[in-house]
Amino acid sequence: MAEQAPVEHDYLVVGAGSAGSVVVRRLLDRGHSVHVVEAGPADDDERVHSPQGWPLLFQSELDWAAMTVPQRHANDRTLFWPRGKVLGGSSSLNGMIYIRGHRGDYDAWAYSGCPGWDWDSVLPLFKRSEDHVDGESDWHGEGGPLPVSRITDPHPTTTAFVEAAVALGHEPTDDFNGERMTGVGLNHATIRDGRRMSAWQSFVAPVLGRSGHPKLTVTTGARVHRVLLDGGRAIGVEYAAGGALRQAYATAEVVLSAGVIGSAQTLLLSGIGPAGHLREVGVDVTADLSGVGENLHDHLLVSNVYEASRPLPPGKANLLEGQLYTSTDPRRSGPDLQPLFLHLVYPAESYPVPEHGYTIAPGIVRPQSRGTLRLASGDPEAAPLLDPNVLAERYDLEALVDAVELCREIGGQAAFDGWRKAEVAPGPEARTRDDLRAYVRRAVGTYHHQVGTCRMGQDALSVVDPDLRVYGVEGLRVADASIMPSIPSGNTNAPSIMIGEKAADLLLAAS
């Protein structure tokens, strides 16, 4: 898409991902003019639209392919973080699983200083987005922009996974977004007619038409360097595109929806952040906001890999068809483990990769470790320093080991007898809990659900208030996963879309 002349719009949205796409659509629906500035290209790569294309997108030109700093509690390894660099953002790169999280996640947000974000308040926003295949119900919406489907023809190994978990006593469920989140079953997915339905494709593409939308300007291939401020108010952004620096302006508000990395990095480059850190990297301080870049955390995952006794048939859905929600302690109010099944080999770092196989991926969804995002320098093109500080808290390590033990029990059930040849990771030599702790440190990775660097709240480390306004700067809001005070106990795409819905309501109420 061609870069447009720098004219003022009502709103300027930085990032066309899960939340940004929603904000754009809802503002357009109310007659406002919008300029969306996206670092990546248009989403015209067929790998984006195929539900089975996501592994091919990792480390491609459509992936920011972020890397953490060495993780001292994980054998000093650097972790790979795929992040979408394309219209749709990470919703064009993810596994298309539609999970909202537990009601307690959102009630905790409200209790900790974010009124209006409790479960009863956000459930209608989730439902408003949805066009669920089941239709309207207490738990789902119909007629919204976002298609949500069921997996109706699962892979035979996915069926084996569900049967194995049920044999161990886990309750089957047909809806992780229904009344009871715990149990084992098939995922709901943002897929329709065999095509990925990213946030951009769901919310914005349908209103573009052949010649675009008269009130929407889309600038792709544009990397935002900083927010432009005038007297303490955000009036636009400066961005690099086509080898030149350009400016874009908004008469109403600027919305950062650049993700957990991009939004925090943009604030810091704009001089909005911890004053001491900004001075260290040579950035002039415009607002001393100590919480920017703090509270970085993520769901953690490892790979319990099995070599198959025969080649697996191809799947028909998203390669991530089934999962289990359960708890390390039955007294918990909600699940803290989310083992995921993949009918492919999702390699465990430094372990062998069998030609034919499948993966039961132990995962934790209530991590306690917290890390930071910092600028490496004042250069807007330099990658920031990402330190999630994984496994720093004892609970995270022990819960992940619990998840590994559970997944090995599932993998050893009779339901897999027709498929299982041998366990490859952690492998038969891993017998004791200490062995599994070593395996976790050696192979821990990510669910690709990073959140928290522009935390919402009312304390000294909060970056945005409950209306998503950046403290100390007028006319500037953040709307993406970076505002999450704590990560929901599920995949973060659906909650990010909900944040976009909430942000749009807040913007429209103030207009």
What does the pLDDT look like over 356-408, one tens digit per residue? 999 999 999 999 999 999 999 999 999 999 999 999 999 999 999 999 999 99
pLDDT digits (tens, 9 = 90+) for 473-505: 999 999 999 999 999 999 999 999 999 999 999
Q: How confident is the model at residue 261 (pLDDT cuts 50, 70, 90)?
A: very high
**CATH class of the domain at 8-510:** alpha beta
Identify any residues that bridge with 238 across adjacent strands, giving them in sequence order. Answer: 226, 247
Query: Model confidence over 41-82: pLDDT tens digits?
Result: 999 999 999 999 999 999 999 999 999 999 999 999 999 999
Q: Is 447 annotated as a binding residue?
A: yes
Q: From the DSSP assignment, how many helices (H) and strands (E) are in the chain?
A: 12, 27
pLDDT at residue 4 in the model:
47
Q: What distance in Å separates the CA atoms of residue 84 and residue 19, rounded to the nearest whole number?
A: 13
Listed range (207-211, 412-416, 452-456) with the worst mean pLDDT? 207-211
Q: Give the torsion sign (CA, 100, 102, 103, 109).
A: negative
pLDDT in tens, 151-184: 999 999 999 999 999 999 999 999 999 999 999 9
Least confident of 187-191, 329-333, 440-444, 477-481: 329-333
98 labelled binding-site residue: no
Domain chopping of the chain, boundaries: 8-510
Confidence category of residue 211, pLDDT binned at 50, 70, 90: confident
Active centre residues (catalytic): 449
Token digits of residue 86: 């394309």
Please give the Cα distance from 159 to 377 (Å, whole number): 50
Burial class (CB in 10 A: 0-12, 13-18, 19+), 355: exposed
- Greater confidence (511 vs 76) lies with 76
The yes-or-no verdict on residue 210 having pLDDT over 90 is no
What digits encode the pLDDT tens for the residues 114-147? Answer: 999 999 999 999 999 999 999 999 999 999 999 9
Contact 281, 269 (CB under 8 A): no
| CA gap 311, 289 in Å, rounded | 54
Structure confidence at residue 6 (pLDDT) = 59
Cα 146 from Cα 111, distance rounded (Å): 29
DSSP for residue 297: B
Residue 176 near residue 188 (C-beta atoms within 8 A):
yes
DSSP at 249: E
Q: What is the DSSP letter of 256?
A: E
Q: Cα–Cα distance between 296 and 298 in angstroms, integer?
A: 7
**In 10 A of CB 59, how many CB atoms?**
11
User: Residue 255, annotated ligand binder?
Assistant: no
CB 266 within 8 A of CB 256: yes
CB atoms within 10 A of CB 478: 29
The mean pLDDT value for 503-511 works out to: 97
